[in-house]
A and B are shown apart, each in its own frame.
Chain A
Amino acid sequence: MHAHAQSEIHRHPLIAFVARWLLTTNHKEIGTLYLWLSFLLFFIAGGMAMLIRAELFEPGIQLLHPEFYNQMVTLHGLVMVFGAVMPAFVGLANWMIPIMIGAPDMALPRINNFSFWLLPFAFAMLLSSLFMEGGAPNFGWTFYAPLSTTYGPPSTDYFVFGVHLMGISSVLGAINIIVTILNLRAPGMTLMKMPLFVWTWLITAFLLIMAMPVLAAAVTMVLTDRHFGTSFFAAAGGGDPVMFQHIFWFFGHPEVYIMILPGFGIASQIIPTFARKPLFGYRSMVYATAAIAFLSFIVWGHHMFATGMPLAVELFFMYATMAIAIPTGVKVFNWVATMWQGSLTFETPMLFALGFVMMFTIGGFSGLMLALVPADFQYQDTFFVVAHFHYVLYPGAIFGTMAAVYYWLPKWTGHRYDERLGKIHFWLATIGVNLTFFPMHFSGLAGMPRRVVDYSLQFADFNRISSIGAALLGLTQLLFLYIVIKTIRGGEKASDRVWEGARGLEWTIPSPAPHHTFETPPALARVLDAQPTPAEPAGAGAGATLR
């Protein structure tokens, strides 16, 4: 202890700063690191989207070389999925889960540090491919063989190892979250009393552990096919390129739920707060989340309807996919029922949560359209698909993250954000999202293929609207950055509870949250008082609540 204290004193401030963040094992600091890294990568991948939309502003090839356009499409997808959305959710989990369940920290703090610090190296490796001879990966984020094997640029190997590092990071993060939730809940916090954000993350973490290693296997096979003479995906050696798609989407479909389930959890935290009512149907929310997670593993074939699958297999994947609409419908119903006859107010987190529910549902509906085999034969590889997955990802995953940031920012910083600017941010982003992605439904149904640098004249008007919307949407996020920085630097003091209708252990600690919280577990009464569901009326189930 003495040696430690002495070295602390003699350190240069810069070294002390670097050492603090490099060596930290504090869940709040690691959460902050995750959130800032995802914010940075969000702007990098968003910049790529701006280039893509600038090129598509009018027909013809104006700005980007077609080869570079393909690299932008690939890296935009990869960085947004693995760099922006996933680390943002892991950051929120790191910050909030220990506080929400009354734990002193994550269960495995050093693994936590390691899993964060893998990521900057993974993305440095992936993005460095832009400066290599032969250019960055250009085969789309799905890296279908043989595009990534026979025809992949040399930098594909950097992509492979980058994905390996991201995968290890995600799996370690997921293990940490599960272990924390299973072992460090405060006494009295039974599983069915956990806040929904914790529940959705618990299920997401299991999805990560089951899906990410399969992705690692797929990229490893790509690597050995490229360099070590194997023929997993090469027909010449008895392999099969279609098998790549099966393996990839076995990972890929659970992955899309990895990117949305924590968002469901966030909406389930925020809507009850601003409706001033407990969440409607808590149990059905938990079961619906588990059902979606299970179904996500048996629907991968719906990405491959056009590969020539037999009728029976197509029917199976079609019905299984459409079955996902049932638990998702339960969730949307519960959110609406939570608001029913509530005392609603519309602060910025609530606006983003409502935008999430509304617009994610639009994406869900276009997903149902795509699930229909005969319709999918027409929609396959058109901009309709682009419209669909951007509607579930932008107003879904990203609005969910933004809602969470506005909701918990006062707890993190101790300051209230500027409500007027927050509302402007929400409305500009909502207009931007719809202006950008709604016309893509029409250009797609009219037959515009995706992943093209140039397009036929009849799509010009829809694309121009999309590009104007994208510019608005991209620039609006600078306002978000400004609001966050402004809130960190100062502003009205936030109370401990922050929101009048807020329930949960995170609102019982001071704002800003002190460096260490819950070093001893909170008292039982405090835990029970913060339950997401109200104390049940005496008689039915009361024994279970108090035991």
Chain B
Amino acid sequence: MKYSPNNSRKHAIVLMIAAAGMFAFGFALVPLYRTFCELTGLNGRTVAGARAAVSAPATQREVTIQFLAQAANGMPWEFRPVEKELRVRLGAINTTRFYVRNRAGTAVTGQAVPSVAPGRAAPYLNKLECFCFANQRVEAGAETEMPVRFYIATDLPQQIRTLTLSYTFFQVPSS
């Protein structure tokens, strides 16, 4: 009696490739996660591609948009919205500003990361101009006001009456 045809080497190679594939899949989860969040609007991610979209004719429906601002841990900036909230008409272009003062003795570069709540509303919030589109450099002790121009798409789901747009400023390493 003998053992059946021995494919050990072939099987071992196939399984090692499978393991390497799963290692790659672990990294592939990162773009998958991002795409999933952008498609569904989960996680409050605002959509980058919406910037160029043209505003539809404004409607009569109004919603409240609230603004939050915070400086991340270790970020030496005072950062707050100039207006705490606005009543805006859907489809109309609005501008608001955020106040920043650099409390540090040196110039600091920061990057703001936005988040929208509820997450479902994120795809409907279109920013035409935002300080979060680029790094912002503020000189030592200087203060400034940074604008955001946006409109809210007219097809925003009916049950959403209030949105919150939140920004966190993170320090960009100077090197």
- By a beta-carbon cutoff of 8 Å, the part of chain A in contact with chain B is 103, 107-108, 111, 171, 174-176, 178-179, 182-187, 209-218, 220-221, 232, 235-238, 240, 242-243, 246-247, 250-251, 309-310, 313, 520-521, 523-524
Contact = CB atoms under 8 A, between A and B. Distances in A.
A243 B33 contact: yes
- 3 nearest A-B residue pairs (beta carbon): A217-B26, A236-B170, A213-B22
25 contacts: A108-B8, A108-B12, A183-B7, A183-B8, A183-B11, A187-B1, A209-B19, A210-B22, A213-B19, A213-B20, A213-B22, A215-B26, A216-B23, A217-B25, A221-B27, A236-B172, A237-B170, A240-B33, A247-B29, A250-B29, A309-B42, A310-B42, A310-B119, A521-B1, A521-B2
A175 B170 contact: no
Nearest to B73: A150
A214 B12 contact: no
A203 to B, nearest CB: 14
A64 to B, nearest CB: 27
Contacts of A242: 43
B162 interface: no
Contacts of B171: 236
B39 interface: no
A213 B23 contact: yes
Contacts of A524: 1
Contact of A178 (B2, B15, B21, B42): B15
Contact of B113 (A103, A217, A235, A313): A235
B26 A213 contact: yes
Given A175-B19, A209-B19, A246-B29, 9 more contacts: A183-B6, A213-B19, A213-B20, A213-B22, A232-B30, A238-B113, A242-B43, A243-B29, A521-B1
B55 interface: no
Interface in B1-52: 1-4, 6-8, 11-12, 15-16, 18-27, 29-30, 33, 40, 42-43
Contacts of B25: 213-214, 217
A525 to B, nearest CB: 11
Contacts of A212: 19, 22
A210 B24 CA distance: 11
A171 B24 CA distance: 15
A107 B30 contact: no
Q: How would you classify the secondary structure of chain B's contact residues: helix, strand, loop or mixed?
A: helix
A214 B15 contact: no
Nearest to A246: B33
Nearest to B44: A308
B94 to A, nearest CB: 26
Central interface residue in A183, A215, A221, by most chain B CB within 10 Å? A183
| B interface, size bucket | 35 or more
Given A183-B8, A217-B23, A175 B16 contact: yes
B1 A520 contact: yes
B45 to A, nearest CB: 9
B113 A179 contact: no
B165 to A, nearest CB: 16
B1 A523 contact: yes
A186 B111 CA distance: 65
A187 B3 contact: yes
B126 interface: no
B170 A209 contact: no
A235 B168 contact: yes
B72 interface: yes
Given A183-B3, A236-B72, A236-B170, A247 B26 contact: yes
Contacts of A521: 1-3
Contacts of B24: 217
B15 A179 contact: yes
Contacts of A523: 1
Contact of A182 (B11, B27, B120): B11
Contact of B27 (A217, A238, A246): A217
Interface in B71-109: 72
B120 to A, nearest CB: 8
Contacts of B33: 240, 243, 246
A243 B11 CA distance: 33
Given A183-B6, A240-B43, A310-B119, A209 B18 contact: yes
A543 B72 CA distance: 72
Given A187-B1, A235-B113, A243-B33, A107 B8 contact: yes
B1 to A, nearest CB: 5
Nearest to B168: A235
B40 to A, nearest CB: 8
A168 to B, nearest CB: 9
Contacts of A221: 27, 30
Contact of A187 (B4, B6, B23): B4
Contacts of A235: 72, 113, 168, 170
Nearest to A171: B19
A273 B11 CA distance: 34
A184 B3 contact: yes
Contacts of B3: 103, 183-187, 521
A301 to B, nearest CB: 12
A360 to B, nearest CB: 28
Nearest to A307: B43
